Structure 1
């Protein structure tokens, strides 16, 4: 159970870092955005039912605080109900997952496409964030970050992934 993640604090901290980037980045290379409003448990259960998945607890808890985030990481969106209904960057994720499966990227990572659900992608981005939702019980809840067909990193859970994205933003801020 996800008892330790303080999602309001984590989301708030990322907003502070993104705001500071927005103030310092005169070229506006990274769009400053906020997450969408949270979803209700009822809406979340409906999405899980229509997708025929059960989201791991960390990701579920995040969605109960923020329903996805446009330009979460550069031009890569973090998915919520909009994308799970087929809108936004959902088509980019579906195409990317298909390409990576056909090219053997998933096989190299010892993953099956049917065990994954994309939780992040963006138009003009090669980033794909994948969440393991079924299959090997030890892998369920794992988040895999793939960019251009290469595994960037695999995270034990969504909260670890989110924390790593915060660190990525902080590193960029230090470069400004």
Structure 2
């Protein structure tokens, strides 16, 4: 998973005046690994991603979406300006144990595009499509080994097409 995050960050490119990235990890609870204004230097961003330690536990995707909206995208109204494209990429390997419809809708109401990557056999396609507002923003892979450079490129293209 972390190699994929590093590849995605590399392809997106981060700069103070361009793309900003944040990383939120979730299981039974949520944790911000770094916020949207944390890193503008690609090497330091890669180091930060490498320092992430995986969380274990459940899959509370609805809670994670709500957390991301309130604590990352709109953190003290210091989130991204309304004039920039905003997107959330969700990577999940399980069915959510909580409601995803309301928090996903709240993000979309804030003009945030949601792209979902489902990994493995524990996902529920209908739930992913509900979060992503349809199948066009959903990608599925059989295992974490398939999270690769090509997929990172497709995600970047999807996010940047808006």
TM-score, normalised to structure 2, is 0.35
Q: Which has the larger radius of gyration?
A: 1
